[in-house]
Amino acid sequence: MDLLKVTIDGIEIEVPAGTTILEAARKIGKNVPPAMCYYSKLEGSGGKCRTCIVKVSQGSTKDPRPMPKPVASCRTQVMDGMVVLNETSPEIMEARASVVEFLLINHPLDCPICDQAGECHLQDLGYAHGKQKTRYEFKRRTFDKIDIGPYVQLHMTRCILCYRCVFTCDQITNDRVHGVLNRGDSAEISTYIEKSIENDFSGNVIDVCPVGALTDKTFRFKNRVWFTKPVNAHRNCTTDKCSGKVQLWYKGNEVIRVTARKDQWGEVEEFICNTCRFEKKETTDWVIEGPAKVDNKSVIGQNHYELSYDKPVVPPKISLFADHPSFKDDSKFIN
Amino acid sequence: MLDNNIQFSPEALNLVNKYIAKFPEGKQKSAVIAVLHLAQAELGGWLKPEIMDYVASLLNIKPIEVYEVATFYSQYYMKPVGKYVIEVCHTGPCWLRGADELIAYFENKLGIKKGQTTPDGMFTLKGVECLAACGTAPVFQCGMDYYENMDNEKVDFFLDKCRQENKVSRPYPVMN
Amino acid sequence: MGIKILTKDIDVPGIQNFQVYRSYGGYNSVEKALRMTPDEVVEEVKKSGLRGRGGAGFPTGMKWSFIDKKSGKPRHLVCNADESEPGTFKDRYLMSKNPHILIEGMITSSFALGANLSYIYVRGELMYVVNILQRAIDEAYANGFLGKNILGSGYDLELHVTCGAGAYICGEETALIESLEGKRGNPRIKPPFPAISGVWSNPTVVNNVESIAAVPYIVNNGGEEYAKIGIGKSTGTKLISASGHINKPGVYEIEMGVTVEEFIYSEEYCGGIWKGRKLKAVVAGGSSVPILPANLILKLANGEPRLMSYESLSDGGFATGTMLGSGGFIVFDETASIVHNLWNFERFYHHESCGQCSPCREGTGWVEKILHKFLDGHATMEDIDLVADVAKKIEGNTICPLGDAAAWPVASAIKHFRPEFEWYVTNPEEACKPGAYYTGDKLVLA
């Protein structure tokens, strides 16, 4: 296959035709534009949140003209000889900061009571690009609350309308009952008439949600995520298309949450069924593989593990599975 | 949630089939916008969920696909409204030529504010965005018709005419 | 009187009927085109220099030449009759009075593109126009100009009229395509462009009503003849929708190159400012284009008269110029409040934002709210810069041009009328009184 050369923030890489700028940046692994709506596993996603915008200062070797406006790196394919400016462009950093400002003006900033806090991409984005003071003086937007069933909690005020949950239900499940309703700044995720989002794979909307708009009702207010410990586990799941590969989130000896495993970009590796997610909350339901890898920038990784993407793997230190063959040294672990 | 009492007349069903026939096979979803207009005209003037579910069943699409569309476009009424919805253009060019005064006159005559419906369920008064009739401002739309170069006298005449007719008035594509 | 192409027969009694239209030379371009090759028709349109009349002004012939013919997929021509840009009402006028000129243009243009299934998408408010067009289409079918084997040429065309249901954004071509597919009018992320992947992923060209209606003349008389009309790269005639504080609002077909001054003050066109008042400002191309004060709309920076053409109206860039846009010419007399009008426009963009991308969804509402503070008498000097900055942060950062359309009026109003905004801040009681208007000494009237 033909490889195309692209330069992003001065770093050159060769990628196959059809690769987007964002995917090329992820391959480089440095100066990766943040993505709030794009999701590599969901067809048609991306382009909406505008946080990943970059400047194309040279379109290609053949046509070196710059692109007139910033482009969404998640939806713009690389051309041979393309030159892209991301963090090295002050205009892009300013534009990104303004996108973050727009995303936050109507956000409730209720992180202290939000279950997503600690693993929220909007929180990370705000921390990286946000301003210390809001310029927005008006009443923040609210929505009528709707109940979407026993498993998923919808907090519409936190939603950034990334559409990931809509794509998920269209592409992973066979029965979408929710969508984006109304328009403009009244647009909202809803079922319109109160309906449960319930089918074998509906729980995945929780994992794809970049913010705290869709959270796990069975985990609600159980614990702050940074006090829990993620462990990789699997079971022989009989649900068609479910991998049965999960992360168990422990508080003491108790499994308080089950999620799919996520990769270093925060994307689900393999989607899981609702039985695995909501009904298997005993350690005995699972074959434990060992502690989950956690990004060393994540608050979740700060206290518990030396294991992370950026550090060499060392033996994990967890008291919980003292009898598990993969855990030997538990002496320093304080629960 | 299908309600068996909600049913198009044979004539309306014939129209639905004509709307669908405008699109290639399998693309019947394209007809949803026209069918929703017709549903408002024929089935009580606004889109209650049961009507949207009926439209979904006619077009063989998911109900949520109809809700998504119905809530996006401003001509669909998601709540009960009057038999006559008076949609006064309040955008710039009409505003320059007396849209506010026209609205005030309606408010005064009908005893309601913009956005409200008269207690007898006859009239709803709405401010709407540009109707593409700026050269004959101020204007309003009601049902299929545009009312242009409006003044108080014409408004009085219009209101009287509606009271005499007394029927739900909504636009929809007419086909032979 | 300048040359009339689109409105020549518009007042002929019964021109809405096929037989009358035909007796005035109607549908001749179909007969002529069917004797040419599609590429020859495209070539004539290219030679004509016709530029898209919806607002962007992109050369129509070039747009046509981008359509993907290699994939072998069915191709579609879609007419954009979602006329919704505030100040613009030319397409409604043309379609309702002379529907057959559009049908004829659709047939000739569809043939040029190799499209066998084409649509006219009309905004839902104009349902009566939908019904007028439907009758005209039925007549064209009955007379052998639509359907299978048109005039024995072997060319088949199905043409349908469809409707929207209230959404300005559907005038954006990819939003229009989504709406035509029965979805929410969310603009698509480009590329791919419609010429490659449009309606149902098929190659599609979307053209404005006025552009398509010009095609019969071009085919009948040749592209070169059309290119002789007008001035420079602004060839042909343009329908101008004139509204606001003038004596004779209405649709005027002008030959490009008429001076702005003549257009505003002559009896042939707007007939001057109403009530004997003076000219304060003009929005020349629909609400989205920059507003210009009287002196700048009438004269270029070098003192020469400004003309009604793409080039002349945009002369000086956004510093001292504007755009021809859709030809929605909104005139403000000395009593008009630029601040109130700007709030009005921004309420429009806020209402019409589809909500898909963050800068537009959040920014348009914010802009509207800040501007409303001026009308409430609560605005501060900082608010002037804040609203300008918020608008600037929307501009260029959105999926579709609605973000720019919302931002440009803010930037230009503050640039050219800043003292009036300051007056609202410093004298709120006076400024917010009904009937009051700004008379500061920095105001330029004509």
Q: Do C362 and A185 touch (CB under 8 A)?
A: yes
pLDDT for A1: 65
pLDDT at A323: 46
pLDDT band at A9 (very low <50, low <70, confident <90, very high): very high
Per-residue pLDDT band at B172 (split at 50, 70, 90):
very high
Residue A313 pLDDT exceeds 50:
no
- At C99-141, the pLDDT tens digits run 999 999 999 999 999 999 999 999 999 999 999 999 999 999 9
Q: Which of A95, A136, A184 sits opposite C366 (nearest CB)?
A: A136
Structure confidence by residue, pLDDT tens digits, C270-305: 999 999 999 999 999 999 999 999 999 999 999 999
Q: Is B68 on the interface with A (CB under 8 A)?
A: yes
Residue B145 sits at the chain C interface (C-beta within 8 Å): yes
> Do the chains contact at C344 and B92, CB–CB below 8 Å?
yes
Looking at residue A304, what is its pLDDT? Answer: 55
Please work out, in degrees rounded to the nearest 5, the angle formed at the alpha carbon of residue C243 by the alpha carbons of C280 and C207: 120
- Exposed, middle or buried, B173 (CB in 10 Å: 0-12/13-18/19+)? buried
CA pair distance A23, A21, nearest whole angstrom: 6
A-chain residues near C354 (CB < 8 A): 183-184, 187
Give chain A positions within 8 Å (CB) of C397. Answer: 50, 53, 69-70, 95, 98-99
Query: Which member of C351, C357, C369 has the closest CB to residue A50?
Result: C357
Q: What is the pLDDT of residue A303?
A: 56
Nearest-5° Cα angle at C265, C262 to C266: 65
What is the SS3 assignment for chain C? CCCCCCCCCCCCCCCCCHHHHHHCCCCHHHHHHHCCCHHHHHHHHHHHCCECCCCCCCEHHHHHHCCCCCCCCCCEEEEEECCCCCCCCHHHHHHHHCHHHHHHHHHHHHHHHCCCEEEEEECHHHHHHHHHHHHHHHHHHHCCCCECCHHHCCCCEEEEEEECCCCHHHHCHHHHHHHHCCCCCCCCCCCCCCCCCCHHHCCEEEEEHHHHHHHHHHHHHCHHHHHHCEECCEECEEEEEEEECECCCEEEEEECCCEHHHHHHCCCCCCCEHHHCCEEEEECCCCCCCEEEHHHHHECCCCCECECCHHHHCCCHHHHCCCCCCCEEEEEECCCCHHHHHHHHHHHHHHHCCCCCHHHHHHHHHHHHHHHHHHHCCCCHHHHHHHHHHHHHHCCCCCCCHHHHHHHHHHHHHHHHHHHHHHHHHCHHHHCCCCCCCCCCCCCCC
pLDDT of A306 higher than 60: no
Q: Is B32's Cβ below 8 Å from some Cβ in C?
A: yes
pLDDT in tens, A246-261: 999 999 999 999 999 9
Strands A245-251 and B84-89: unpaired
Render pLDDT for C52-75 as a digit per residue (tens, 0 to 9).
999 989 999 999 999 999 999 999
The nearest CA of chain C is from the CA of B156 a distance in Å of 23
Contacts of A53 in chain C (CB under 8 A): 397
Give the CATH fold of the B10-72 domain.
Answer: Arc Repressor Mutant, subunit A (1.10.10)
Q: Using CA atoms, how far apart are residues B39 and B8, in angstroms rounded to an integer? A: 8
CATH class of A3-92: alpha beta
pLDDT digits (tens, 9 = 90+) for C29-46: 999 999 999 999 999 999
d(CA A28, CA A73): 14
* pLDDT the model gives residue C129: 98
Q: Best mutation site among B130, B141, B147, B150 for testing chain C: the one with the most C CBs within 10 Å?
A: B130
CA distance C313 to chain B (A): 20
Q: Is B40 on the interface with C (CB under 8 A)?
A: no
What pLDDT score was predicted for residue A335?
A: 32
> For all residues of chain C together, what is the average pLDDT?
97
For residue C250, give the nearest of B91, B135, B176 by CB distance: B135
Q: Can you give the residue ranges of every domain in chain B?
A: 10-72, 84-165
Q: Long-range pairs for C274-278 at CB < 8 Å and ≥24 separation?
A: C274/C245, C274/C246, C274/C247, C274/C333, C275/C245, C275/C333, C277/C245, C277/C333, C277/C334, C277/C335, C278/C333, C278/C334, C278/C445, C278/C446
Tokens of C23: 């007796």
Nearest chain A residue to C186, by CA: A183
The answer to whether residue C378 neighbours chain A at the CB level (below 8 Å) is: no
Across the range A87-97, mean pLDDT stands at 97
For the domain spanning A111-216, the CATH number is 3.30.70.20
Does B129 touch chain A if contact means CB atoms closer than 8 Å? no
C-alpha span between C12 and C9 (Å, rounded): 5
Q: How many CB pairs under 8 A join A and B?
A: 28
What DSSP assignment string belongs to A247-279? Answer: EEEEETTEEEEEEE-B-TTS-BSS---HIIIII
* Partner A contacted by B75 (CB < 8 A): no
Q: Which residue of A has its CA nearest to B65?
A: A179
Structure confidence at residue A302 as a pLDDT band (50, 70, 90): low
Contact A258, A244 (CB under 8 A): no
| Cβ–Cβ contact C286 with B under 8 A | no
pLDDT at C223: 97
Domain boundaries, chain A: 3-92, 111-216, 225-332
How close does chain B come to A124, measured CA to CA in Å? Answer: 31
| Minimum distance, in Å, between the CA of residue C147 and any CA atom of chain B | 13
**Taking residues A3-24, what's their average pLDDT?**
97
Residue C349's closest chain B neighbor by CA? Answer: B129
Q: What per-residue confidence (pLDDT) applies to A198? A: 80
pLDDT at res. A319: 43
Question: Which DSSP letter does residue B54 get?
Answer: H
B31 touches chain C (CB under 8 A): yes
Confidence of residue A320 (pLDDT cuts 50, 70, 90): very low
Q: Among A191-205, B79-93, C170-184, C400-414, whose mean pLDDT is lowest?
A: A191-205
pLDDT in tens, B112-127: 999 999 999 999 999 9
CA dist., res. B12 & res. C446, Å (int): 57
List A residues 243-272 in contact with C (Cβ-Cβ < 8 A).
none
The pLDDT tens digits for A146-184 are 899 999 999 999 999 999 999 999 999 878 999 999 999
- Which residue of chain C has the CA closest to A187? C355
Contact C341 B131 (CB under 8 A): no
Residue from the list A175, A181, A193 with its beta carbon closest to the beta carbon of B68: A181
Please count the other Cβ atoms lying within 10 Å of the Cβ belonging to residue B145. 13
b/e map of C370-381 (b: 16 or more CB within 10 Å)?
Answer: bbbbbbeeebee
Q: Is the Cβ–Cβ distance between B170 and B35 less than 8 Å? A: no
Tokens 């290699």 -> residue: C70
Residue of chain B nearest A166, judged by CA positions:
B64
**Lowest-pLDDT range, A191-205, A312-326, C370-384?**
A312-326
Q: What fold characterizes domain B84-165? A: Glutaredoxin (3.40.30)
Judge whether C48 is closer than 8 Å to chain A, CB to CB: no
Distance from CA of B131 to the nearest CA of C (A): 7
